[in-house]
Structure formats: C-alpha cells, structure tokens
Amino acid sequence: MIGVVQGAYWNHRRIWIQNKNGQVWLAAHTNKNWYGLRRELETILANTKLTVPKDQIQRDKAGKEEA
C-alpha cells in the first residue's frame, strides 16, 4: 500500500548539476507536474547566471515545426 501511495500521490523529482569543461550543466526530471518543477527551478536560479533548462519535448516539437 505504501508503494501505491508513493507512486500515485507523491511527486518524484531529480535534479542533476554537473561541471563539464568549466560549464555548469543542469537537468531535471519529474514524474508529474513539470510546470511546478519549472517554477521552482526559476525561483532557485533567479539570482544566478544559470538558465532554466528547456523542456526536451517542447524543444523537439519546435525543431520539427521549423523543418
């Protein structure tokens, strides 16, 4: 029953930060509520030089529309 509650009701979020050749790479994943995660990332990154990662699905759709 605990697993059902975890999977059905709790948001699972992961954030990766990696320093690669002097650049900071940031990625995030959630099982639900991408917009909520995006808002939180915007808040966290507001006073930094880092930009909010682009949604991969939206990025891929934009690339297909241009082609």
18 pLDDT more than 80: yes
- pLDDT band for position 66 (cuts 50, 70, 90): low
CA–CA separation, 51 and 8 (whole Å): 31
DSSP reduced 3-state for 24: strand
Give the mean model confidence (pLDDT) for residues 11-30.
88
What tokens were used for 30? 């959630």
Count other C-beta atoms under 10 Å from residue 37's C-beta: 20
Degrees, nearest 5: CA angle 63-66-67: 90
Confidence of residue 19 (pLDDT cuts 50, 70, 90): very high
What average pLDDT score do residues 29-45 get?
A: 86
Residue 26, beta-bridge partner list: 17
What's the pLDDT at 46?
A: 92
Of 5 and 28, more confident: 28
Domain boundaries, the chain: 2-66
